[in-house]
Structure 1
Amino acid sequence: MTEFAYVDVFAAAPLSGAPLTVVPDADDLTDEQMRAIAREFNQSETTFIMRSATADRRLRSFTPIGEEVGGVGHNVLGAWLWLALTELADSPGTFTQQIGDELLPVVVERAGDGRPVVTLEQSAPVFGDVVTDPAPLAAALGLDVADLRTERPPQVVSTGAGHLLVEVGDRAAVDRVVVDADRLVAVLRSVGGEGCYVYCLAETAYARFFNPAMGIPEDPATGTAAGPLAALVARDGVLAVEQGHSMGRPSVITITVDGDRVRISGSGVITATGTLHLDGYFA
């Protein structure tokens, strides 16, 4: 039998933020089994917690179509929230995680009200290709070219995963986005982007994330995109990102940028636990 938990990440209460399935003690699962389990749960990502010879934990994450994803976002933060609420409940501190070949620090703390707060360090930002023709991108998002801001052209930025960051004029434009998946995948491939983060800036950033090539129509909270956004617009500062409102799952992601150091922080709750009854299925 295989245990699992649902964790709502970047959430102050259950049924908000980004839902994540966490499967602990996953060392004996094969790649095929992990992909099949991720398809079963059909969340934007399912994360498997394993032992590591070089870190405190090794994490692997898969999308509903069985694609493995890297980067440090809600998939990773949710796994450490589960650990903070279970195995590490009495021992917060600083840990090391293995994501692919990278070893990255993790800080687990307790807020004044007792909630766990996890801070993750992402990879140093890499600034990639810029979209030079906005018309196909606007069409892929169901927007007019005039909705796209020109002062900061759409650009792929990575702090572990490269996403296309697209600034629009206001929250209404963000909310109007209706994705044409095939067109958006074509634009993303032309600039080497994995997903698309549409945002506007005011007191906080307001954003939506789309990653159709990885089987994610829309994600309510995306740390792997919020980190690059902060690296692009809030160097040497702090940025809060609101996301998920259009999906009825509001979330707040806090990002700190200090030079090339990008860190995301958040809390969350375990909303459900259960057991997978798979005896004999993978025999």
Structure 2
Amino acid sequence: MELIVYTLNSFAKTEDGGNPAGVVLQADGLSDEEMLSIAQQVGFSETAFVQESEKANYKVRFFTPNSEVDLCGHATIATFTLLKIKKIIEDGILCQETKAGILNIEVHNDKIYMNQNTPEYFNIIDKNEIADSLNITQNDFVSHLPVQIVSTGLKDIMIPIKSLDRLLAITPDLEKITALSKKYNVSGFHVFSLETKFDSTAHCRNFAPLYNINEESATGTSNGALACYLYNHGIVNKEQSSELIFEQGYSMQKPSEILVRLKIDKNKICEVKVGGTAIIKQELSLGKPIFPSVILEEKRPRQKP
């Protein structure tokens, strides 16, 4: 049996920007162990596996190199961009079954928007504990904003930093971040500044070493949660929330742009959508045997849709 893994860069601001994801379109015959093995050898932060669903248009499962996660924003953007390019789907509203629930997908031209869960707000965390893991001081935080766990599908710690220069200069202690991620049962740290390069809503960095992701260049779920955090703490208003723009990946030389739309009803967030574009980079052939040894061979040169 031969399978194809497509690699795409999601949320790419430039040709070399964005966050790479793998996508397998026909994954119904794969076991959990096989999907994990494929994700390990593809080597990206997430690989998406598309399966048939009795509850939605598609079931999509997401694997990091060391475990399955409930949801992945950039891999979702990659998946539905690929389905659109392959003319398997057309513009309109679809839905995907994930371990975070059944979520709507909006396909419109070259942009894909995915619905996330409405926000949940959790612990406010002592800034001293976070400062130690990021090798910063109390003076580096935005004083009037909390360090807080927020989720629109995956829990992350939102960490407000006073200036863009200080944000870009952070050298994290990955072992301490891993320990705190375990302690608070979160995916990782989403660190941001309201100072930006291109008049965006926020500039972000994301650290998730618990999942073998030391830093990620574009994180859909985390920016969805950040948009909700910013609305909840009065940083953005209802009018601004209809199209928020988040910068990420510049510290990695992978410029990325993530779009977030919030729908507000009676001052409460009732819908969260994260969107962006993706660029096909490669089509890879999976040789036999699929498991336990997966061989990746480049089948076609990188290409743009």
Aligned CA-pair RMSD: 1.6
Do the aligned residues in 1 keep the contact of 2:4 with 2:24 (CA within 8 Å)?
A: yes
Unaligned runs of 5+ in 1: 111-115
> Which deviates more from structure 2 when the two are superposed, residues 31-40 or residues 14-23?
14-23
Hey, what does 2:180 align to over in structure 1?
Answer: 187
CA offset at residue 207 of structure 1? 0.4
Hey, what does 1:106 align to over in structure 2?
Answer: 105
CA offset at residue 12 of structure 1? 4.4
CA offset at residue 55 of structure 1? 0.8
Q: How many residues align?
A: 275
Q: Is the partner of 1:225 in helix, strand or coil?
A: helix
Q: Is the partner of 2:9 in helix, strand or coil?
A: strand
Distance 1:87 1:49 in 2: 15
> Which deviates more from structure 2 when the two are superposed, residues 80-89 or residues 23-32?
80-89
> Which deviates more from structure 2 when the two are superposed, residues 189-198 or residues 29-38?
189-198
Q: Which amino acid aligns with 1:86?
A: K
Q: Following superposition of structure 1 onto structure 2, how do residues 163-182 of structure 1 map, counting pairs within 5 Å?
A: 163-182=156-175
Per the normalisation by structure 2, the TM-score is: 0.86
Q: Following superposition of structure 1 onto structure 2, how do residues 85-96 of structure 1 map, counting pairs within 5 Å?
A: 85-88=85-88, 91-96=90-95
Hey, what does 2:71 align to over in structure 1?
Answer: 71
Give structure 1 regions of 4+ aligned residues with deviation exceeding 6 angstroms: none
Hey, what does 2:302 align to over in structure 1?
Answer: none
Distance 2:64 2:132 in 1: 26
Distance 1:171 1:13 in 2: 21
Query: Is it true that 1:117 corresponds to 2:111 in the alignment?
Result: yes
Q: 2:212 aligns with which of 210, 215, 225?
A: 215
Do the aligned residues in 2 keep the contact of 1:147 with 1:168 (CA within 8 Å)?
A: yes
Q: Is the partner of 1:233 in helix, strand or coil?
A: helix
Do the aligned residues in 1 keep the contact of 2:113 with 2:275 (CA within 8 Å)?
A: yes
Distance 1:125 1:186 in 2: 25
CA offset at residue 190 of structure 1? 3.3
Q: Following superposition of structure 1 onto structure 2, how do residues 1-283 of structure 1 map, counting pairs within 5 Å?
A: 1-65=2-66, 67-88=67-88, 91-100=90-99, 102-110=101-109, 116-132=110-126, 134-202=127-195, 203-204=199-200, 205-234=202-231, 236=238, 237=241, 238-258=243-263, 259-279=269-289, 281-282=291-292
CA offset at residue 151 of structure 1? 0.8
Distance 1:37 1:71 in 2: 18
Task: Give a deviation string over 1:223-269, Cα, whole Å, max 9, x none.
Answer: 11000000011363132100000111100101011223111110111
CA offset at residue 14 of structure 1? 3.2
Hey, what does 1:113 align to over in structure 2?
Answer: none
Distance 1:281 1:214 in 2: 22
Q: Is the partner of 2:172 in helix, strand or coil?
A: coil
